[in-house]
Structure formats: structure tokens, C-alpha cells
Amino acid sequence: MKRIVFLLVAVAAVAAVVASSPVSGHIDEAASPIYGVTIPPGYRDWKMIAVAQLKTDKVDQLRAQLGNEIAVKAYTEGTRPFPDGAIIVALHWNRVSSEDNNRVLAGAFPGAQSFVVFPA
């Protein structure tokens, strides 16, 4: 329980910092101190290109690739190389089994497993 409270406080702090910093499309502006890059405008509207799961004996990850409108158009049309302005990002999360959630789910969905996802 303490870990969940700590995680919620940490997420809230990061969200507050991100929300308070202005986002602009000017390339010559200073990079965000959190991510080390300038976040392009419209990133919240990027579309899903692909989702995958990487599972080995050492890692269990959920992976997603998102792209801006230029990248998605080039991807669907098969344009290679991608044109200038195309941006594709990869998001990876490590999956960790949650015994607390499994106990809750066991009553409603026998045999179900849940996973808590942490950024990789």
C-alpha cells in the first residue's frame, strides 16, 4: 500500500511539472528538463501504429508505437523512406504481476491475472 501511495505522489509531481511547462512547436526552444527533448505540438493526437508484447525469460514488456499524422500517412501508404516531419515514438512498459489485483479478480473472473505496468 505504501508503494502505491508513493507511486501516486510521484506521478502527480511529474504531471504537475509537465502541465506547468509550456509546449510549443518551435525547434529552437530549450529542451524540456524532464525528457531532454522538446515535445512536438499535437503529440496527444498521435495514432497507434503497432502494439506488441516482448516476453523472454528476463523481460515481459508491453510495447506500443505511435506516430504523428505524417508518419501514419507514410506508413499506411508504404512510403519509404519516411518523409521529413514524420515522428514515430516507442513506449515500453515492464509488466509485473499484481497479487492484490489477482485476489480481487479471482472472485469475478476465476483464473484471471492482472498486471501492473511500469515504464521501462
- Of the candidates 76, 78, 89, the residue with the CA atom closest to the CA atom of residue 45: 89
42-63 pLDDT, tens digit each: 888 999 999 999 999 998 899 9
72-107 pLDDT, tens digit each: 999 999 999 999 999 999 999 998 777 887 777 777
Question: Does residue 40 contact residue 31 with C-beta atoms inside 8 Å?
Answer: no
Alpha carbon distances (Å) from 115 to 7, 28, 61, 112:
15, 40, 11, 10
67-77 pLDDT, tens digit each: 999 999 999 99
pTM metric for this prediction: 0.55
